[in-house]
Each structure stands twice: as structure tokens, then as C-alpha cells.
Amino acid sequence: GAGVSQTPSNKVTEKGKYVELRCDPISGHTALYWYRQSLGQGPEFLIYFQGTGAADDSGLPNDRFFAVRPEGSVSTLKIQRTERGDSAVYLCASSSGQSNQPQHFGDGTRLSIL
């Protein structure tokens, strides 16, 4: 079956612009997670959803970052007024929501802010 799908795979934009990153989780997975990963580091948690609601958004670095999951499936991560420090790979994962079940990751969106 299909895995977690993220689009675009690469995004290059200028400082100050707005970007949207999309995640299409595995069908039937109720939990959806966003992480970001810098080179040589492990993924860093941003936010996760159970269904349509954000269950934990403690990892969002500031109010320029926002995420939605309006129908409990596809999610969009939105970044306003991008800064060069936002450059990273943004990973999305989904799971059944049980603690012993692994999170399945997409290939990520490589975001570069010029």
C-alpha cells in the first residue's frame, strides 16, 4: 500500500516568503506528526495531530509556524515570513496512535531559504 507522501520534495524560496508543505498520511492512520531535521542531527518534533486536532504543538519554534489537518487526513505545515534558519528537511510521519506502533515517515520536503 501507499506510504506517507510529502509534496513538494524540494522547495527553494526567498527570505520573507510564505510556504506550505503538504503531507498525505497512510490511509486509516489517525495520528500525524511533523518533524524537522537539520544535517547531521536527529529529527526534531514540531507538532502532532490526533484526528483533526493538534494534540501537542509544543515543538513549534514560534508563531510563524502553523499546521492544520481539517478533515483528519491530509495536513499542511505553513511557515510565514521565512528566515534562512528555517532551512531544513521537514518530515511528516503517521501512525495508528498506539504507543507500541511505529511512526512511518515520508521522504520529507527539503526547504531552502535564500
Distance CA 110, CA 100 (A): 29
- Report in angstroms how near the CB of residue 17 gets to another protein at its nearest: 24
User: In the set 13, 20, 22, 59, which binds another protein (CB under 8 A)?
Assistant: 59
Helix (H, G, I), strand (E, B) or coil at 16: coil
- Which positions from 63 through 102 interact with another protein, judged by CB under 8 A? 91, 95-100, 102
CB 35 within 8 A of CB 45: yes
- Report in angstroms how near the CB of residue 83 gets to another protein at its nearest: 23
- Report in angstroms how near the CB of residue 32 gets to another protein at its nearest: 10
DSSP-derived pairing of the beta strands 31-37 and 44-50: antiparallel
For residue 13, what are the contacts with CB-CB under 8 A and spacing of at least 6? 19, 82, 111, 112, 113, 114
- What is the Cα gyration radius of the chain? 13
Per-residue contact flags (x/-) with another protein for residues 14 to 53, judged by CB under 8 A? -----------------x-x-x----xxxxxx--x-x---
Residues of the shown chain interacting with another protein in the complex, contacts defined by CB under 8 A: 3-4, 31, 33, 35, 40-45, 48, 50, 55-56, 59, 91, 95-100, 102-108
